[in-house]
Amino acid sequence: MDIEELKLQISSVQAERERLELLLSQYMGDAVIAKEDRCVQSRKERLWKLANDLFNAFSLPDPKTHELFINTQELTREGFSNIFECYEKGIARLGAILRQDVYKTEARVTKGRRKRNVRVHKLAILPSQMSQRQNNRTENNESQQQDHENNNCIRRQRRITTNNEKEVLESILNYDAFPEDIAIETLHKLHDFSSEWDMQRIRTYWKNNRHNKRRKID
């Protein structure tokens, strides 16, 4: 084994170790690299716990319901696509680096070498992000409710009974009990003037105006 090959192997092992340490630190929530036996044992236990959690999650009919994936933000079509494609994109990027830096068959391009094809979220800030999204949803719901109330208010203001409609409605004001059959006929006639009329509105008009007509007659 020559010196260059030995250097390459050492570099490969170091890179693999760095990736493993990154995985452990991300899962454990700390970036401290410790080598004591107790710490190594603790990380082994946590790594096995992660493996068991993943196994249990993907054994469920819907893995997204497992607590491991609660509050995750990338369980979307775009997020899945990024995860499934990141390996192939990484292989292509490494191939480009090999041709540019080792074989020297292509011009060296350093832009985009450290680009991540997946979005990384820190566990520590996920609760605050969830709280912010909930606040935004609450504000949006309140805004939509206010818009709905405003639209209803505008709609109520525009519902002005015209003289022609009042003439058609006269036929139901002579009854002490609401006349369903006549009201249906009246509804068909009212639709000639406006499509906003329905049985509920006719009933409301009858309740509000039948006493007025009786007083006029008296």
In a domain, 205, yes or no: yes
Number of domain units in the chain: 1
38 has a pLDDT exceeding 70: no
Q: Which residues contact 111 (CB under 8 A, 6 or more apart)?
A: none
The torsion region of residue 16 among left (phi > 0), alpha (psi -120 to 50) and beta comes to alpha
* Tokens encoding 94: 């490494």
Contact 105, 99 (CB under 8 A): yes
In a domain, 43, yes or no: no
- pLDDT-derived band at 25 (thresholds 50, 70, 90) equals low
In a domain, 139, yes or no: no
pLDDT digits (tens, 9 = 90+) for 58-76: 888 888 888 888 777 888 8
- Average pLDDT of the chain, as a whole number: 78
**Which amino acid, residue 173?**
L
- pLDDT-derived band at 107 (thresholds 50, 70, 90) equals very high
In a domain, 188, yes or no: yes
In a domain, 98, yes or no: no
Range of the domain at 179: 161-217
In a domain, 31, yes or no: no
29 has a pLDDT exceeding 70: no
pLDDT digits (tens, 9 = 90+) for 2-20: 777 777 777 777 777 777 7
Q: Which of 60-69, 101-110, 209-218 has the lowest mean pLDDT?
A: 209-218
pLDDT at 215: 54
CA 26/CA 37 separation, integer angstroms: 20
In a domain, 190, yes or no: yes
pLDDT at 133: 66
In a domain, 140, yes or no: no
pLDDT at 171: 84
Give the phi and the psi of residue 7 in degrees, each rounded to 5. Answer: -60, -40
